[in-house]
Each structure stands twice: as structure tokens, then as C-alpha cells.
Amino acid sequence: HDVVIREAAEHGLHIFTEKPVDENAEKIVDLFDVCKKHNAQLCCGFQRRFDDTYKAVAEAVRGKKIGEPLSASIFFADHPCPPIEFLLTGGDIFMDLSAHDVDYIRWALNDEVVSVYATGSSSDERLKEAGVHDNATMVMTFKKGTVVTLTMSRCATYGYDQRCEIFCTEGLASVGNEFANSSVISNVKGVHQSCLKHSFPERFDAGFATELDEFAKCITDGTEWPVTMEDCIATQKIADAARLSADRNEVVML
């Protein structure tokens, strides 16, 4: 988003952008510096921070309502499956899928990642030949000792699958899936529910709306955006480390 961010900042406009701000930490710092020079806020959107369910779980963990965090398990399966052309040209799973959950778990745990191990597989021969994973797992170890597993897939046939469980010394906090509708049909053949919500616009529609409301407050009231430059850099470095780990098949220290 480099060109658009620079042009908007030079006109003194506040900027809301989806992740990533840019493709590496150095470029992210440079863009934040450009915006600061022109007194423009650069607001990067990580929608889980604005989703009511994700927020409630994070607040329970950050507020020590269930003790100290020990481990977490996150599952992200995309829907619908992106076309093979997208995956081959710009669909790196670590750069494209991991960012939202990486930012969220850092925020929820109020802690920093010290090491990453990642591995993946390719379900299509064309992806394998190009070295592109469409299924992957990251294991992140945090400074205070929490171990977090993030499993990702490019294609869930049953809808947009987004789950998170954080296990603590005094309890468990979890984010469950949302269904397309809440109907339950029971008959002699079993108990039946709808598929999950179709994709991210349906699952996070309220979160996206809240993001825009908060961005408007930044413009009208001068409030500070909750996602900092440091948050953006940390998330980018973790994604970079995951990709490097998968390439080398080794743990990467941060």
C-alpha cells in the first residue's frame, strides 16, 4: 500500500489500511515515519481486536480472570478456496493468513513471541512444484512460556472456520464458529445444522463496522488507534520467521 499511503499522508489525510502495511519491517517503519511527518494517523486494521467475541476472550485472558495462560490452539480454514492462480502468484499462507491471528494472540496474551517453528504441505502438484503451501502449522513460543499452535488451511468445504482456545491455569477461554443460520433440524437421520458463515465479510461484518467507527473517532476526536507501529512490525517479523522456518525446517528465534 506504499504509494497510496504516501500520497494520502502528503495531503494530511488520516489513513486506514488493511494488513499488511507493507511487506517488511523496514518499509513499515518508513511509512509510519512519513505519516508522522505529515501529522497523519496510519491505522492498520486487525479486525479480531474489534470483534465482540474475540474481544471478550482477550479481556478475560488479559484481566487474569482464568489465571495464567499456558497454551493456545488456533484454527483458520479459509472459504471459499482461492483460485490456483492467486495461490501461485501471491498467496503465501504465512504472509496472507497468519497475520490476523498472530496479532490477536499477541494482544490477548500481552506477550511477545521468542521463537517460531512452521511447516506446511501442498495439496496440489502445481503448488508443490512452486513451493507454495496451502496447509500449514505454526508453533510459537512466547516470552512468558505460553506455547501457541496456529493451524491454517486455504480450503474448508463447509464454510469459514475460525476458532481459538486459550488454556489457562484456572480455566479455558474460547472463540467458537458462527453458522450461516441458527436452525437445527432433527429427524430420524440425525441432527442437522447449516454450514458455517460463507467467508470473512459475513463472519466479521460487525468487526469491520466497528473498525470504521473507531477510525472515524480518530479523525473527529483525535483518539489514538489501538494498533501501533510496533504491533505491525512484530506481526510482520513473526510471519517472516514462519516462512523462513518452513523453508529451512528449523526453529527461528526472534
> Residues 68-89: pLDDT tens digits?
999 999 999 999 999 999 999 8
Distances (CA, A) of 80 to 21, 96, 97: 25, 15, 14
With 80 as the cut, is the pLDDT of residue 91 above it? no
With 80 as the cut, is the pLDDT of residue 150 above it? yes
With 90 as the cut, is the pLDDT of residue 19 above it? no
Res 110: pLDDT: 98
The average confidence (pLDDT) of the chain is 96
What average pLDDT does range 206-229 have in this prediction? 94
Res 20: pLDDT: 86
Res 194: pLDDT: 96
With 80 as the cut, is the pLDDT of residue 254 above it? yes
Q: How confident is the model at residue 115 (pLDDT cuts 50, 70, 90)?
A: very high
Q: Angle of helix 229-248 relative to helix 98-109, nearest 10 degrees?
A: 120
Res 228: pLDDT: 96
What average pLDDT does range 166-182 have in this prediction? 97
Strands (DSSP E) contained in the chain are 15-18, 42-45, 69-77, 113-121, 135-142, 147-153, 161-168, 171-175, 184-187, 190-193, 252-253
What average pLDDT does range 211-235 have in this prediction? 94
Look at phi and psi of residue 10 and say left if phi exceeds 0, alpha if psi is from -120 to 50, else beta: alpha
Res 104: pLDDT: 98
